Chain A
Amino acid sequence: MTIIIESTLRYAMPLIIAALGGMFSELSGVVNIALEGIMLLGSFTAVAVAYLTGNTYLGVLAAMVGGVALASIHAVVSIRYKANQVVSGTAINILASGVTTMLARGLWAEGGSPPIQRIPDLTWPFRITPFVPLAFLLVALCHWFVYYTPMGLRLRAVGEHPKAADTAGISVERMRYFGVLMSGVLAGLAGAGLSVGLLSGFEEGMTNGRGFIALAALIFGKWTPVGACLAALLFGAATASQTFMQALGIQIPAQFLLMAPYILTMLALAGVVGRSTPPASVGIPYEKGAS
């Protein structure tokens, strides 16, 4: 049983952290499908800095900085220049995949990093990376921030009704920058959790779609921290039980469970499993003074 719980948590952890990141961006009204690219850059930065300095904790910090750097491109393009946010996100994903590959090959002849020292596991209550409790802590913090602080209220206001927020004296631009940059911090951290928390090295394209699944978890969780966390745990449990059942000799087509997160998300969007409604102004650039 601990095996299933452990692998559920392993799988869910990066999804939870990245989904929280996506939540900040989307609540403020900016679609962020660049989570995948930001995570990948985070994974790379964490390993590269750990490799160069010998300090993995420094690598985790650097991953967050790298995430912010990449997210700031998305922020400027979609907030300052009001570009299509999906196009910008897609470009960033392609950019991140290319840049990490290029840098990894420059740094390590084989493209993949040599094994590095990863963040030590906790030993209690069972062996697990400290990123797992950190993820749950972040869920609680984000819940408190979004629903119980004035700043959280402002964040939601600019995503729901930017004009009203603007009239009330809230800077829509500033709140949206904050939302997108926070998504960079968290998605970068999620990437680090994958490469130096769960694994001990970088491989090209190692996030392998987790950013998109995190986005699915966010939607399935109705854009709330707790909901996204539960959705990520559900996706994790699905993957973990599939592996576990296979190991027991019960065969389920792997494709079926790979599809599961997306099918559930579509059902949620279609209102079958409780309606999932995005922030009203998500994806729409705010034009000051426009009617």
Chain B
Amino acid sequence: MSRKWIAGIMAGLLAMAVLAGCGKSATDQQGGQSQQQSQQGSAEGEKKPFKAAMATDVGGINDQSFNASAWRGLQKLKEEIGAEVNYVESKRQEDYETNLATLADQGYNIVWGVGFLMTNAIGAVADQYPDTYFGLIDGEVQGKPNVVSVLFNEQEGSFLMGVFAAKTTKTGKVGFVGGMELPVIERFEAGFKAGVKAVNPNVQVITVYTGEFNDPEKGKAAALNIYGQGADVIFHASGKTGEGVIQAAKEQNKFAIGVDSDQNHLAPEHVISSMMKRVDVAVLTISKQAAEGNFPGGQTVVLGLKDNGVGWSDTTLWDKMPPDTKEVATKWAEAIKAGKVTVPSTRKELETWQVPEI
């Protein structure tokens, strides 16, 4: 008797947890289905809608950062070509492969893996589903005809953030908060430091890696540390951890620079700019190419400043920076776009990097 009860309760708990945890909004699916029906109605069942889906990394769909940006890209795709779109969230790294395979199994034409940490999972799943297109953001899988890899020149956008920070600082110290020490985050760091150096080589950059992308408190503690050592502007590349950085900026009345999406709304007076990484544009463009049958399979697409893949946000607070900041930043941006300046993308390159004349 009591055993059955236990089993019942545990099963119920787990079922609730799984239902609650899958976090997929029912309206999206319904929307997709009704769209499918209406499209089938109009095309008399000739053509099924294009189906696109993404698997987030552990940051989740609401990371106000690059997963959210990728999802915006898919929603735009739904608007523009009536595609059926969906997402799955990965709660832990072990889920990546399963989640990607599940989406491929459900017949999505293109499946996006968002994040460097998905690289191996995409490589493995792409072999199992040769008829599905896969897109990888921030990582590179080579030589598979059904995989496209998208990389960004984060160092170019981060360079401009370095220009802003070095221009804005009054104490001669600025900070950088990173999430995990991955090649992607190193590009942010190297670019940022190069930008600072380009404006004023005497400005010191205090660097802290928190080791986490989803721990706001660790971000806040790191930022308080950096501000405590006299810095007054911090650029973060650390996902949700960075929300703690922005909270610290607000409380200490210092400045922060956001990342990936426009993060100004988190502290409108204190986030002076955000390094926009247009994951949404990449996801939209390539998904559309796939829908039209022009999938750039096997390629690595690199988006930089000149492709508008990275850059500063619309809500950059020019009035918080010295008046010539925009002019200086634009000059550097033009030089980078023209290929006259190569921004270092690793710490090693940064060591030997000399500020070029422009």
Q: Which residues of A contact B (CB under 8 A)?
A: 3, 6-7, 10-11, 73, 76-77, 81-83, 87-88, 91-92, 94-95, 97-99, 101-102, 105, 110-112, 115, 194, 198-201, 203-206, 208, 239-240, 243-244, 246-247, 249, 254-255, 257-258
A–B complex contacts, Cβ < 8 Å, 19 sampled: A6-B224, A77-B9, A83-B6, A94-B21, A95-B20, A98-B20, A99-B17, A101-B60, A111-B62, A112-B62, A115-B266, A200-B247, A203-B243, A204-B62, A206-B215, A208-B215, A247-B207, A247-B208, A258-B211
- The stretch that binds A, out of B32-40, B115-123, B225-233, B332-340, is B225-233
Pick from B6, B23, B243: contact of A82, CB below 8 A. B6
Which 8 interchain pairs have the tightest Cβ spacing? Answer: A111-B62, A98-B20, A98-B21, A254-B211, A94-B17, A95-B17, A83-B6, A208-B215
Interchain nearest-CB distance for A96 vs B (Å): 8
* Closest B residue to A246 using CB positions: B208
List chain A residues, Cβ under 8 A from B240: 112, 203-204, 206
Chain A residue, CB-CB nearest to B180: A254
Query: With the chains together, A73 CA to B14 CA distance in Å?
Result: 13
| A97 engages B91 (CB within 8 Å) | yes
Q: Which residues of B contact A83 (CB under 8 A)?
A: 6, 9-10
- Please indicate the chain B residues that have their CB under 8 angstroms from the CB of A208 in the complex: 212, 214-215, 217-218
A258–B19 alpha-carbon span in the complex (Å)? 31
CA distance A200 to B219 in the complex (A): 13
Chain B residues closer than 8 Å to A203, beta-carbon distance: 214, 216, 240, 243
Give the nearest-CB partner of B58 in chain A.
A205
Bound-complex Cα distance A62 to B124 (A)? 46
Q: Are A110 and B207 in contact (CB under 8 A)?
A: no
Q: Is the Cβ of B23 less than 8 Å from the Cβ of A102?
A: yes
Instruction: Tell me whether B81 is interfacial, beta carbon within 8 Å.
Output: no
Given A83-B9, A198-B217, 13 other A-B contacts at CB below 8 A?
A7-B225, A10-B224, A77-B6, A87-B10, A101-B20, A110-B62, A115-B266, A198-B220, A204-B240, A243-B210, A243-B221, A247-B206, A254-B181
Q: Which residues of A contact B21 (CB under 8 A)?
A: 94, 97-98, 101
Instruction: Tell me if A110 and B64 are in contact (CB < 8 A).
Output: yes
CB proximity of A275 to chain B, nearest CB, Å:
31
Given A91-B17, A98-B20: A247 and B225 interface contact (C-beta under 8 Å): yes
B211 touches A255 (CB 8 A): yes
**Is B10 within 8 A of A243, CB to CB?**
no
A200 closest partner in B (C-beta): B247
Most A Cβ at <10 Å: residue of B62, B175, B207, B218 = B62
Closest Cβ–Cβ distance, residue B263 to chain A (whole Å):
11
Looking at chain A's contact residues, the main secondary structure is helix
A206 touching B20, Cβ below 8 Å: no
Cβ-based interface call for B74 (8 A): no
A81 to B18, CA, bound (A): 22
B103 at the interface (CB under 8 A from A): no
Known contacts A92-B13, A115-B266, A208-B212; A10/B217 CB under 8 A: yes
A204 CB to closest chain B CB (Å) equals: 6
Report the count of interface residues on B (CB-CB < 8 A). 52
Assess whether B226 is in contact with A247, with CB atoms less than 8 Å apart: yes
Q: Is the CB of B216 within 8 A of A244?
A: no
Q: How far is the CB of B37 from chain A (nearest CB, A)?
A: 27
**Residue B72 is within 8 A (CB to CB) of chain A in the complex:** no
Measured CA separation A208–B240 after assembly (Å): 11
B76 CB within 8 Å of chain A: no
Residues of B within 8 A of A98 (CB): 16-23
Docked-complex contact B208 and A240, CB < 8 angstroms? no
For residue B21, which residue of chain A has the nearest CB? A98
Q: Is B52 an interface residue (CB 8 A)?
A: no
B217 and A81 contact, CB distance less than 8 A = no
Q: Which residues of B contact A92 (CB under 8 A)?
A: 13
Report A67 CB to chain B, min CB distance, Å.
17
Residue of chain B at shortest CB distance from A76 = B9
Shortest CB–CB separation between residue A259 and chain B, in angstroms? 11
- Which residues on B sit within 8 Å (CB–CB) of A11? 217, 221
Q: How far is the CB of B7 from chain A (nearest CB, A)?
A: 9
Q: A95-B16, A110-B64 are in contact. Are A77 and B23 (CB under 8 A)?
A: no
Asked whether A73 lies within 8 Å of B208 as measured between CB atoms, the reply is: no
Distance from B169 Cβ to chain A, minimum over Cβ atoms (Å): 16
Interface string of B163-179 (1 = CB under 8 A from A): 00000000000010000
- Within 8 Å CB of B218, what residues of A? 208, 239, 243
Residues of A within 8 A of B23 (CB): 98, 101-102, 105
* Cα distance, A77 to B228, chains bound together (Å): 48
B229 touches A3 (CB 8 A): yes
Question: Hey, which chain A residues are within 8 Å of B2, CB to CB?
Answer: 81-82
Check: B254 CB closer than 8 A to any chain A CB: no
Q: Does B61 contact A (CB under 8 A)?
A: yes
Chain B residue at minimal CB-CB distance from A202: B216
A97 to B22, CA, bound (A): 10
Closest Cβ neighbor of A92 among chain B residues: B13
Q: What is the minimal beta-carbon distance from B191 to any residue of chain A, in angstroms?
A: 19
